[in-house]
Structure 1
Amino acid sequence: MNFYKVEDTHIIRSLFKNVHQTLIQAYWQGKIGIAYTDNLLQPSSAFINIGCFFFFAGIPNSDILRFKPKEYSEKYAIFIPTNEKWHILVENSYPENFEKITRYSFCQNTTFDIEKLQSMISTLPQDYQLQRIDNKCYRNIVRSKWAKDLCSNFASYSEFEKSGLGFVILKNNVIVSGASSYLVYDNGIEIEVDTREDERRNGLALICCAKLILSCLENHIYPNWDAHNQQSLKLATKLGYKFDRAYQAYVVWNF
């Protein structure tokens, strides 16, 4: 079965009318992402790919679930089905290759406690340095296995400098934690955060995120958060985010 790259986003918009994740906004605004459908004139099934995320909508179709676009080179993906029939089809299409996970979204009108965020930043240990992501940091991040997603959706530092925003913590001049814009859309970003494994549970992610959120607020940008797991949910709650809902997704391996 053939699938066709979508150039005019309007042709698939109705298929995704009940999909409300903020990641989708970046695609509709032409900031990032690709989409494919089964029919450019009368689409019945489609997916939108943003970073490692695939959103499926329309009539459930096992062929489109197995279709890997040439633009996507990773060996895994996160599938986000839009209804129960898509969920069942994912499990049937990748019976040995999926992990079902629960993700968590948050309310879009969070009012942050500025003093609390500033207090979090002040807990930075003496041997660590907090700084904005510059050209040198960007180059080190994209070469790092654990940190690359902090900047993976920006093809160059000039692109990140123009549209992105992020902060890292260094120890002995080596990046050990960071928080940045996974992607950007009009008046908002989607936050990506990670810490090197041996430096986790030291409060570094909290400090990076607090700094990033404050910088966003100063620039009239909303820092959206979508949690991948319980740890991310707890971190977001500490920062002041208000929980909205949980939803199911799939990590698909050997994609």
Structure 2
Amino acid sequence: MNKKHTFFHSWSKNMVRYGLQADLGQIFTNTAETSALYQLGNFLFPAGQADPEFWQNYSSQSGLADKIIISEEPSWQQFLDSQSQLHQFTRYAFADRADFDAETLGKWQSSLPADVQLYPIEENSYTLLAEESWSHDLQGDFTDFAHFQAAGGFGFVLCLGEEIIAAVSTGLTYHGAVEIEIATKPACQGQGLAKVLGAAMIVESQKRSVFPLWDAHNEASKKVAQSLGYQLLGAYRAYEWKGSFDQ
């Protein structure tokens, strides 16, 4: 494993650095050991020199559906750009430290609509997250709720009556940090619910002495992170299999 880690020694991506440190995920290499693919949750990180045959073998065996593909290697970026079955989009990276302002976080937490309730994720709500497409990723890279708890996972749901309309959760848990995921039911977007959840997650993370890492999937997520006090490092390219949009 240590030899395989050398493929990523110069990478800056928080998810890669923290994931390898915590020995999470799987690393695949080609026969010549000139190329590697690091699979972590639903993320895939190609490193080393681009190897089209290696890529094709992995794609055929493991599939690309629902995977987010990110590389810091120029040869892999050029290769991924050439793949007609992939859709390129922009994500945003944030620093793994921040000086969060307690007053700002309190303001966002108190902006919860009067008819909406905030609850910690428990076994029942964790199970319910799998039932709708907008929320299933919030279960994170865990086999079940017991695994989620044992690994140090936590989060919150927002409920309108009995209905979960938004949630935040730990997609991955590292040493001293967690990767957070936020999602809002499409019909309830644009109400500031992500900021409420983000603030609650930051406060809870501080209580647990872990840092809540944020990596924004889109412009809306970027704006939420900045409003909560995260430091933007910059935009970067990411890829998804086009077939994911047809499922």
The normalised TM-score by structure 1 is: 0.89
The residue aligned with 2:132 is 144
Q: Would you say the 8 A contact 1:167–1:208 is kept in 2?
A: yes
Partners of 1:244 and 1:142 lie apart in 2 by: 32
Structure ranking higher in helix proportion: 2
Partners of 1:138 and 1:73 lie apart in 2 by: 26
Q: Would you say the 8 A contact 2:117–2:160 is kept in 1?
A: yes
- When the two chains are superposed, the root-mean-square deviation of aligned CA atoms in Å is 1.8
Q: 2:3 aligns with which of 1, 11, 20?
A: 11
The residue aligned with 1:4 is none
Q: 1:241 aligns with which of 217, 221, 230?
A: 230
Q: 2:169 aligns with which of 156, 171, 180?
A: 180
Does residue 106 (structure 1) correspond to residue 110 (structure 2)? The answer is no
Q: Give the secondary-structure state (helix, strand or coil) at the position aligned to 1:19.
A: coil
- 1:59-87, CA deviations, whole angstroms, 9 ceiling, x for partnerless residues? 11112222337985662321112222211
Q: State, as a whole percentage, how many aligned pairs show the same letter.
A: 28
Partners of 1:165 and 1:74 lie apart in 2 by: 28
The residue aligned with 2:65 is 75
Partners of 2:79 and 2:64 lie apart in 1 by: 22
Does residue 132 (structure 1) correspond to residue 120 (structure 2)? The answer is yes
Shift of 1:26: 4.4
Does residue 167 (structure 1) correspond to residue 167 (structure 2)? The answer is no
Q: Would you say the 8 A contact 2:50–2:76 is kept in 1?
A: yes
Partners of 1:74 and 1:181 lie apart in 2 by: 23
- 1:180-214, CA deviations, whole angstroms, 9 ceiling, x for partnerless residues? 11101001001101000000001111101110110
The residue aligned with 1:48 is 38
The normalised TM-score by structure 2 is: 0.92
The residue aligned with 1:201 is 190
The residue aligned with 2:77 is 87
- 1:94-133, CA deviations, whole angstroms, 9 ceiling, x for partnerless residues? 21x2211111111222010112111211111111110100
Deviates more, 1:23-32 or 1:245-254: 23-32
Q: Would you say the 8 A contact 1:78–1:251 is kept in 2?
A: yes
Shift of 1:18: 1.7
- 1:204-252, CA deviations, whole angstroms, 9 ceiling, x for partnerless residues? 1110111011000111110111111111110100111011122111112
Q: 1:27 aligns with which of 19, 34, 40?
A: 19
Does residue 224 (structure 1) correspond to residue 213 (structure 2)? The answer is yes
Shift of 1:144: 2.1
Q: Which runs of 4+ in 1 moved over 6 A?
A: none
Shift of 1:31: 4.8
Partners of 2:75 and 2:60 lie apart in 1 by: 26
In structure 2, the CA distance between the partners of 1:246 and 1:171, relative to structure 1 (3 Å rule), is same
Partners of 2:169 and 2:62 lie apart in 1 by: 22
* Runs of at least 5 residues in structure 2 that lack an aligned partner in the other structure: none
Q: Give the secondary-structure state (helix, strand or coil) at the position aligned to 1:153.
A: coil
Deviates more, 1:145-154 or 1:230-239: 145-154
Q: Would you say the 8 A contact 1:102–1:228 is kept in 2?
A: yes
Q: Give the secondary-structure state (helix, strand or coil) at the position aligned to 2:108.
A: helix
Q: Would you say the 8 A contact 1:65–1:90 is kept in 2?
A: no
Q: Would you say the 8 A contact 1:31–1:184 is kept in 2?
A: no
